[in-house]
Chains A and B, each alone.
Chain A
Amino acid sequence: MLDYLLRRLSLLLFMLFALTAFTFSLNYLFPGDLLTNFSGQVNTSFSQSQLLEEKYRIEDNILVQYSAFIGRLIEGDWGVSLSSGQTVSSHVALLLPATLELCFYALVVAILLGIPAGIITSAYHKKWPDKVISTLTLLGFSIPVFWLALLLIMVFCLGFGWFPMSGRIGLLYEIPAVTNFILLDIWLLDFPYGGQAFLDALHHLALPTIVLAMYPTTVLTRFTRDSMLNVLEQNYIKTARAKGLNRRQIILDHALRNALLPVIKQIGLQFSTLITLAMVTEVIFSWPGIGRWLIDSIYQRDYPAIQGGLLAVSMFVIFANMLADLTHSLLDPVSRNQSHGKV
């Protein structure tokens, strides 16, 4: 296990290195002034640019520049956003939790719906529940997320008026930002006010969560189904059946454990898809998350912000994948013996 951990750790370091090297090279790839791309400060006076050049080591070779870049990243100095004039790290700290919160709830919904649905389809293989659910997943798999969001808004927000269509909470609720995870922050408030706010926040969460959960739910359903069918074909299941166990016993006691192992890994992989879909969802539902900010930054050609946003999102995706990998191997010792670097 230790050996395995070390190997994973070295892989993680390598990935972080490649990612930071890429982000660093973005400074050169982006159009615009190099110093501005680095610092986010425009129209600097001569003495200021001297200071900045010193700080960003523009005069030195690329390796020194890169190490200075890494140093700044670790210190939390991610530059200044061109459009807002505030530090990129403060934006990320404020916005990333909102995105994570949304993704987390969507993932929970996807797991709670997708896995049971997958199990049902495999249990009733080629019977009507299988056909219905499979068709539904195919539809859900094919629907463009932004169109789905618009349809839901048209029906449930504008048509019936059941749900609000933007933001995390009614704006008149003044929630002091402590963790930036809104439900947690509300939790810290007094009861009567906090209670109302909590309900309102859930109300706001409903539609974005459903939209965001659609794709991962279908993926998990299909994956669970395939994995279950695979397991159900194996000899030990046939043995169990021959022993006279009924379908419920076979599926719940024997097949499920083995079938869910690959699903766990898939859940981790879904997180990265979720973050991307969240970008679209955030734009439509005016969710104040990192995706909307990143896309706005691209419109405004706010290069320091794009860089910071990408770095934060990609880093998060990498960590999420790594975590899924670790959980998977914790539960499934066989996978630890996979050769290094093999995917």
Chain B
Amino acid sequence: MAKFSLYSEESNRSPLSRLWRNFKANHLALVGLWMFIGLTLLAMTAPLLAPYGIDQQHSDALLIPPSWHDDGDVHFILGTDDLGRDVLSRLMNGATYTFGLSIVAALVTTVLGVVLGTLAGINRGFKSSILNHLLDITLAIPSLLLAIIIIAILGPGLLNTVWAIILALLPQHIHSIRNLVVDELNKDYIGAYRLDGASRTHILFRGVFPNIYEHVVVIFTLALSTAILDIAALGFLKLGAQPPTTEWGAMLAENLGLIYLAPWTVGLPGALLFLSVLATNLVGDGLRKALQARKAT
């Protein structure tokens, strides 16, 4: 970089590109991002890519180990389960359920959180106090427990799980977005804007939102990692997705009986879960660090 440049180029870059620059510097975060993109693509296209159908039973090929094993078969790269179903195809399709549905749940939560959080942020007085009290109560109850309560009412099932997780994550997000909005509203430039005669909508859309959306993305990644863990945990507890749905948690629970005979049917779904949560957390962490770094410069 030129030492004697007259104009500092960097400071003229847009905040977004500075953010990207900071983010890029963190290799782990970048790896996480690639994994994240890969999983997202897989979740969208899994039924097309998968070599076999999820329920296709090969009765002549039960419990075949992965292909690198001596007894493996190249036709079933990750082996088959006890009904002769291709593990790879099931895992790929699982991405749609576990990862895809988690993204949907996290998106819905974030959108609702932004709407309700903003409403909570711009209101003051009695209404806000009641809302905060209610949030206090639900905040005290962890999301998985709340999801279990909601499942108890709605009954087990994958769709119910998604609803339950959205409802369970919502209070935390309303709360953090409200805090973001309130913090932003208290800043001087908003005060100046208000004095200029800007309307409430104006303040929100021109003043507040452009300044908090990056933080909302961080909140989204948090929601996503919680959603993945919760969907999988509920599936594992047999309260969420029911077999033969290929949700990873449910697959893990279903194959638990094969743990000695075919450990790969238990290990692989868990490993994928771990990787997807890790990817999400890496991206979230990287983003948060990049935001901090940008603030510092």
A-to-B contact residues, CB < 8 Å: 11, 14-15, 18-19, 26, 29-31, 135, 138-139, 141-147, 150-151, 154, 158, 272-273, 275-277, 279-280, 283, 294-295, 298-299, 306, 310, 313-314, 317-318, 321, 340-343
When distances are taken between beta carbons in the complex, the residues of chain B under 8 Å from A26 are 153
List, in ascending order, chain B residues with CB within 8 A of A147's CB: 252, 270-271, 273-274
CB neighbours (8 Å) of B136 from chain A are 11, 15, 341, 343
Contact sample, A vs B, 11 pairs, CB 8 Å cutoff: A18-B134, A141-B281, A142-B274, A146-B233, A146-B270, A147-B270, A272-B145, A276-B142, A280-B233, A310-B152, A314-B141
Q: Which of B148, B149, B151, B233 contacts A144 (CB 8 A)?
A: B233
The answer on a CB contact under 8 Å between B273 and A144 is: yes
Min Cβ gap A194→B in Å is: 35
**B interface, CB within 8 angstroms of A:** 28, 129, 132-137, 139-145, 148-149, 151-153, 155-156, 175, 225, 229, 232-233, 236-239, 249, 252, 256, 259-260, 263, 266, 270-271, 273-274, 277-278, 280-282, 285
Q: Is the CB of B140 within 8 A of A317?
A: yes
In the complex, which residue of chain B has the Cβ closest to the Cβ of A135? Answer: B28
In the complex, the answer to whether A279 meets B140 with C-beta atoms within 8 Å is: no
CA distance A142 to B225 in the complex (A): 8
- CA distance in complex: A341, B149 (Å): 25
With A279-B237, A298-B151, A321-B140 known, 8 other A-B pairs at CB within 8 A are: A138-B285, A145-B229, A146-B236, A154-B263, A158-B260, A272-B141, A283-B237, A318-B140
**Residues on the A chain within 8 Å of B149, using CB:** 310
CB closest residue in chain B, given A299: B238
- Rounded to whole angstroms, the CA-CA distance of A342 and B120 in the bound complex is 12
Tell me the complex Cα distance, A341–B139, Å: 13
Residue in B closest to A25 when the chains form the complex, CB atoms:
B153
**A150 touching B266 by the CB < 8 A rule?**
yes
Q: Could you say which residues of chain B place their CB within 8 Å of the CB of A279?
A: 144-145, 148, 237
Cβ contact within 8 Å between B278 and A142: yes
Known: A142-B274, A273-B142. A341 touches B133 (CB 8 A): yes
Residues of A within 8 A of B156 (CB): 298
Cross-chain contact A138 with B278 (CB below 8 angstroms): yes
Which 9 pairs show the lowest CB-CB distances between chains A and B? A147-B270, A142-B278, A142-B277, A276-B142, A276-B144, A276-B145, A341-B129, A341-B132, A29-B153
Q: Are B142 and A272 in contact (CB under 8 A)?
A: yes
* Chain B contact residues, majority secondary structure: helix
In the assembled complex, the Cα of A49 lies from the Cα of B69 at a distance in Å of: 64
- Contact present for B133 and A14 (CB under 8 Å): yes
Q: By the criterion CB–CB under 8 Å, are B142 and A280 in contact?
A: no
Query: With a CB–CB cut-off of 8 A, which chain B residues contact A135?
Result: 28
Q: A145-B233, A150-B266, A294-B148 are in contact. Are A139 and B278 (CB under 8 A)?
A: yes
Q: Are A154 and B259 in contact (CB under 8 A)?
A: yes
* Chain A residues, CB < 8 A from B233: 144-146, 280
Q: Is the CB–CB distance between A138 and B148 below 8 Å?
A: no
A239 to B16, CA, bound (A): 36
Nearest CB on A from B276, distance (A): 9
Q: For A341, what are the chain B residues with a Cβ–Cβ distance below 8 Å?
A: 129, 132-133, 136
Nearest Cβ on chain B to A96's Cβ, whole angstroms: 14
Docked-complex contact A313 and B132, CB < 8 angstroms: no
The answer to whether A298 and B239 touch across the interface, beta carbons within 8 angstroms, is yes
**Cα distance, A31 to B155, chains bound together (Å):** 9
Judge whether A150 and B270 touch: CB under 8 Å: yes
A273 to B146, CA, bound (A): 11
Q: Is the CB of A146 within 8 A of B252?
A: yes
Which of A19, A275, A341 has most chain B Cβ within 10 Å? Answer: A341
Bound form: Cα–Cα A30–B154 in Å: 8
- Report whether B140 and A306 are in contact in the complex, using a CB–CB cutoff of 8 Å: no
A26 to B151, CA, bound (A): 12
Distance from B192 Cβ to chain A, minimum over Cβ atoms (Å): 26
Which A residues are in CB contact (< 8 Å) with B232?
A: 144, 146
Contact of A306 among B152, B259, B273 (CB under 8 A): B152
Question: Do B145 and A313 touch across chains, with their CB atoms under 8 A apart?
Answer: yes
Is B137 a contact partner of A18 (Cβ separation < 8 A)?
Answer: yes
Cross-chain contact B139 with A343 (CB below 8 angstroms)? yes
Does A298 lie within 8 Å of B148, measured CB to CB? yes
Could you tell me if A144 and B281 are in contact, using CB atoms closer than 8 angstroms?
A: no
Docked CA distance A277–B233 (Å): 10
- A14–B134 Cα distance when bound, in Å, is 9
Q: CA A341 – CA B120 in complex, angstroms?
A: 13
Kindly list chain A residues whose C-beta atoms are within 8 Å of the C-beta of B141: 272, 314, 317
CA distance A310 to B147 in the complex (A): 12
Taking each of A144, A275, A342, which has the highest tally of chain B beta carbons within 10 Å of its own beta carbon?
A144
> B252 — which chain A residues lie within 8 A by C-beta?
146-147, 150
* CB proximity of A211 to chain B, nearest CB, Å: 13
- Selected from A15, A142, A277, A342, the residue in CB contact (under 8 A) with B137 is A15
Give B144 Cβ to nearest chain A Cβ, in Å.
Answer: 4
User: Which single member of A30, A146, A295, A342 contacts B148 (CB below 8 Å)?
Assistant: A295
Specify which chain B residues have a CB less than 8 angstroms from the CB of A151 in the assembled complex: 270
* Distance A135 CA – B175 CA, assembled complex (angstroms): 29
CB <8 Å contact, A342 and B140:
no
Q: Would you call B129 and A144 a contact (CB within 8 A)? A: no
Across the interface, which residues of B come within 8 angstroms of A19, CB to CB?
A: 137
What separation, in Å, do the CA atoms of A243 and B263 have in the docked complex? 60
